[in-house]
Every structure is written in C-alpha cells, then in structure tokens.
Amino acid sequence: MSDTLGGYAGKCLHLDLSVPSGRTEDLDPEILRDYLGGTGYAARILYDGQKPGIDPLSPEAMLVVSTGPLTLNAVPGGGSVELCFKSPLTGGWGESRAGSDFGPDLRRAGFDHVVIRGRAPRPVYVVIRDGKAEFRPAEHLAGKLVSEKLAMIRRELPDGRFSIGCIGPGGENEVAFAGVQFGDRAAGRAGAGAVLGSKNLLAIAVEGRNEVVAAKPAELKELLRTYFTQLRSNPVSIGFHDNGTVGDLAANDEKGDWPTKNWQSNSWGKGAVLLDSFVRRNFIKPYPCYRGCTISCGRKVRVPDGAYATVEHGGAEYESISCFTAYVQNEDMDAAVHCSHLCNEYGVDTISAGAVIAFALECAEAGSLAASDIAGLDLSWGNSKVLPRLVRMIALREGIGAVLADGVRAAAARIGKGSEAFAVHVKGLEGPAHDPRSGKSLAVSYGTGNRGMCHIHPAEAMAWDSGKMDWGLCKHGLPDPNGVDRWDEPGKGSAAKLIQDGLNLPDILGTCKFFMYAGIGVDELAAMLSLITGRDIGPAELLAVSERVINLQRLFNLREGFTAADDLLPARVCAVPSFGRYAGTAECGISDFPGMLREYYEARGWDAGTGIPTDATLKRIGLRR
C-alpha cells in the first residue's frame, strides 16, 4: 500500500490528560493494510501500546476513539464511532459503538483515531477542531446529568456545530458498565464511561470543515446512488424505519428469543400487548442517529403523564425495553421507557442495568439478600416502582446500588449464598435480550465473543439459523440458512466462525451493522472500500482482515489471563425454559455446547484444549503477537 491514503483523514491524535498535552502522528500504512481501521486499528494500538495486567481505571490505561474508512455521512451506515479499551467490567477486550455524527465529524476535524491516556488532576473536557485539541476546565459539569452537560457545553461553544460525546454521573462514579452518550445514542456496553470517568474526562466535542476525499469520488457517488435506491425498497430497511428495533418485541417473544425473568425462560407471552401499548402511548416518530441515514431506526418517545412522565427523547430500543420489561417481569411500558431514559441521563448501559436489577430481584426472592441489604426496598418481580430508584442507586453507588454497580459477576462474588447461579454473563458481560435457545449458532457467538456475551459484537448469529439471513456470506461458504434447523447443533460452530468474520466488518470499517441486514453485505462493503481507498480490496481480503482482528483481540484477552474456560455459557442459558411457550420443548435447550465449541475452535485454527490460536494459524492470517 502506498503512503498516499485515499479515504482517510490520515492522522491519529494522542492526548495525555496528566500533562495535559496533545500530539499528532500519521497513520501507519502497514497497520492500515492489515487492519483497515475502526476496532482493527484500535486493537493493534492497544495490544502494542498498553501493558498487560494494567488496571483499566488507572491513568496508564488507554481508550481509543476510532473511526473507519467508511465513516462518512454519505455512506450507508457511515455515522459510527467505536470506543476500544480494556473493560473495567470484564477485565478483557472492551469495545462499544454508537451511531451519531461524531465519527464523521472527527474525521472532518482531521483525525481517524484519538488515543487517550493519563488522568487530569481536575475534571476537563476536550474540544477537537480542525486538527487541534484544546483542554477546558469542567468542574462546573461534574455531577450533572447528560442532557445538562450537553446543554452547558453547547452554550460554551456557540460558534460551531459540534458533535459531543459525554459521560454522566455513572461514569464519574466509575460504574463498571457506564457508557458514553452521543446525544440520544449510547456507546453503552463494557464500561467506556467508567474509563473516561477515571481520567476526569467528562466530554469530547468535535467539529471540522475538511471532508475526507475518496480516491474515486465520481464512481463512488454513482455506486452509492445505486445502493440507496436499493435500500429504499428493501423490506428490512423499511421495517427498521417503520417499527424500529422495539418492533421485534412480539415476534421475538413468539419464537423464543426473549430472555424472561432473568433467563428462566425465553418467552413471556406479553410482547404483543406491550408493543401495542408502546405504539399507542409512547411512540412519537422515527429519527436518524446521523445525517444521511436512510433507515432512521431510532424512536422519538415520551411518557406524556403519570408517575413516569418523561420528556421527549430518543430511546426505547429493543434491548433497553426488554431489559426493563421481560427481564424483571414489569408490565408497565411507561416505567420501561422512563428507566431507559434515566440510564441515558445517568450514563449507564441499559442492558447491564436491567440485568443486574433482575439478578437482584432473584437474589431477594431466594433469600441471598437480607432485608438489611436492601434497606426496605420491595425487590419483587413486576414491581415497576422500584426500578427507577434502583437505576439512580446504581449510578450514584448508593446502598445496594454500590454492589450492583460492578456487574452481576462481581455482585455474585460479593453476595454469595448461591447467587452465582443467577448471574448470567460470559466473561463478565451481562447477557443481552436475545436468547440462543431460539437459534443455536448464537450460543457459540455468545460463548466465544471477545468482549463477552454480546448479540452484536461481533454477530447476532441467531439471525442466520433462526432468522434465515445470510448477509451475502453464502457465496463465501456460509450454508444456506433455509436448509438449516434452528435447533440443530452440529455445524453451528463452524458457521459461527464465518458469521463473526462477516459481521465484524462494520466495526472495522466504521458503519452501522443494520445496513448489512438490509442488503449492504460483504461484497458491497468491499466495493465501497475499494473506491474510497483507491486500492482494489475484494470480499475475501475483507474477511481475512476481520479474521485477523478477531484473533488479535483474542490474543489481547489471553494476555489478560482469559482461558478456554471463559468461553462457556451459563448453565441457565443452556437449560430448557422453566416456563413459557417452550417449557416442554427439549430440543430448545442447548445439549452439547462443548461439541459446538470444539467445532468452532477447529474452524478458527485454535488449539482444541486451550483455545489458543496455533502458530500455524497466526502465520496463515499474517498476525504477529
């Protein structure tokens, strides 16, 4: 690859908050060739630049704000930003994405990546503008809710259209699953907000006027016109626009893809009723998370009146609503919308927050938590009144909230008394609102995911064997989903490997994963990338890059002490549901997860016993330790 970088801003900004100081460096052409950008480039930075065993909340820990070569407003799904770091929740690889204009605006400001280290002696925020960084005092922002911080910063930056990412009180209090808010959108999972809070960095504002130039702009414009025409008539694209992600509540409940009562079941039977209540009372209109999005899957929502009255805001995503309804047996949609909004205001991940609350409810029911532990709180299933209070207590680390704020794994270790059986997580990351008992390939992806039990990083693999989607991967070796039974287990390990390689690409290239569901598959990503960079990059090479990135992240975790034992699913997630639609369906349970895992290891070229990539595999994929 030449040193002339088509499609990149071409610079990385390094910020040391301890000094404070900033310096810029050119992107490394060799790393770009092998990792392209996004979570790939960031993985190389973190693996090479951060010592293993470091405390993720120490000044020496790094957080990388990353974009990719497709992070452009004009590209389908190009409004993305990735945060990469060592997770304070899991102790391993951490990454979290948000949709917004922040990523494209960061590139207009002159940078593809920002590497943050150190700890400011007092709270600060950073302004990045046209190739320069400025540190501003932020003591006056401390303790404020996210919306208050954003309003105050915008008043202090009246002369530009800034995109802002900021943390809430949860991040300042180092809640292990605190996120970073980009307006109404959150990079929620794995604790990036806690990392920034530990550094006394409350916000980053970016603005730039320099557009990133594609190598072949005329050809790219014509190709994008074709893709957007296809997207406007694509049924998945239309469905996301009309119904958003929360529109899946009823269907997922019906097919056993809705974890219920802290994963005791995979269906509840109330999804359709709750969705109807949401549409009639809470939904206002769809909205896009970045300029140029043709899908607009976001929902503007509110609670117009009553005990949970909530202002209009962007929120109420499928995961957030599921975790504050089915997870905790709450039938009041107003309460769920309100709690989702509170999580964004306090800056904590909605999934982990709902999961630790469900864990606490079960602990109370089982007697693992004494009355003195919960100070008179009514922690009974379905009690909507306690949910907002628990969100605040977690974010502020008050009472039982201080225990829950470190996640279910740490909470179970502290509480004991059999509570470990109720702590649903992989590698420390709480389970999201998709159930692998609805499609077994998801079980493999959950168990082997580098950041933990995640449905989207790298892949919602259940959408293949249960949802019958292929993302353009069948031509690259993925079996036709129409010939696959969702409850079969043989073949799911090898399929999960290729699905992960394919669905990891948006995180590397800097796009929204939903566009892959709407027809922008591996071939289309390769075509856009070739025109943007000026280098002919085929789909096979893209998949090879993704495989390299996944293996590097695996090496990161192994270096941090993870082993094959961390690739296991919780027993509860494998069990036949104890109630609900599938309670009597034996094949719904996961009977041979070790067999699927062995198949996955073989497909990856990892040692069958240790799960460590072999030397031959590392040589084949061109990866250096």
Q: What integer is the mean pLDDT of 138-148?
A: 98
80: which 2 tokens?
């993305």
pLDDT at 591: 96
Reported as a single tens digit per residue, the pLDDT across 520-562 is: 999 999 999 999 999 999 999 999 999 999 999 999 999 999 9
Non-local CB neighbours of 121 within 8 Å, separated by 6+ positions: 18, 200
* Coil/strand/helix, residue 239: helix
Return the residue matching tokens 């949970």.
308
Mean pLDDT of the chain: 96
pLDDT in tens, 220-269: 999 999 999 999 999 999 999 999 999 999 999 999 999 999 999 999 99
Same domain, 198 and 294: no
Local structure of 109: helix, strand or coil:
coil
pLDDT at 363: 97
Domain end residue (candidates: 207, 231, 253): 207
pLDDT in tens, 154-198: 999 998 899 999 999 999 999 999 999 999 999 999 999 999 999
What pLDDT is attached to residue 1? 34
Nearest in space to 105 (alpha carbons), one of 135, 138, 75, 71: 71
Range of the domain at 58: 11-207
Is 71 found in the same domain as 131?
yes
Residue 79 lies in a domain: yes
| 259 and 406 co-located in one domain | yes
The reported pTM is: 0.97
Q: Are 199 and 256 contained in the same domain?
A: no
Mean predicted confidence (pLDDT) in 27-43? 96
Rounded to whole angstroms, the Cα distance separating 472 from 524 reads 9
pLDDT, tens digit (0-9, with 9 covering 90-100), for 270-310 = 999 999 999 999 999 999 999 999 999 999 999 999 999 99
Are 46 and 179 in the same domain? yes
Of 400, 429, 458, the residue at which a domain comes to its end is 429
Task: Give the span between the Cα atoms of 408 and 423, in whole angstroms.
Answer: 5
Token couple for 251: 């269907």
Q: Which helix (H) or strand (E) holds 387?
A: helix 386-396
> For residue 460, what pLDDT band results from cuts at 50, 70 and 90?
confident
CATH number at residue 115: 3.60.9.10
Same domain membership, residue 450 and residue 422: no
Structural domains counted in the chain: 3
Q: Is residue 219 part of a domain?
A: no
Tokens matching residue 24:
């810029």
User: Average pLDDT of 318-332?
Assistant: 98
**Amino acid identity for residue 565 in this structure:** A
Q: What percent of the chain has pLDDT over 70?
A: 99
Same domain, 455 and 579: yes
Q: For residues 21-25, give the mean pLDDT.
A: 96
Please indicate, yes or no, if residue 538 is contained in any of the structural domains: yes
Distance CA 395, CA 197 (A): 12
Torsion sign over Cα 54, 58, 59, 63 = positive
d(CA 106, CA 110): 7
Q: Is residue 229 part of a domain?
A: no
- DSSP sequence for 167-193: --HHHHTT-TTB-EEETTEEE-GGGHH
Phi/psi of residue 527, nearest 5 degrees: -65, -45
CATH assignment of the domain containing 368: 1.10.569.10
Instruction: Please report whether residue 464 resides in a domain.
Output: yes
**3 in any annotated domain:** no
Asked if 392 and 472 sit in the same domain, the reply is: no
What is the enclosing helix (H) or strand (E) of 426? strand 425-426
Show which of 165, 186, 207 is a domain's final residue. Answer: 207
Say which CATH number the domain at 584 has.
1.10.599.10
Domain shared by 160 and 289, yes or no: no
Q: Are 486 and 366 within one domain?
A: no
Is residue 361, in this structure, part of any structural domain at all? yes
Would residue 499 count as lying in a domain? yes
pLDDT of the residue at 160: 83
- Same domain assignment for residues 17 and 153: yes
At residue 253, the pLDDT reads 98
**Residues 339, 448 within the same domain:** no
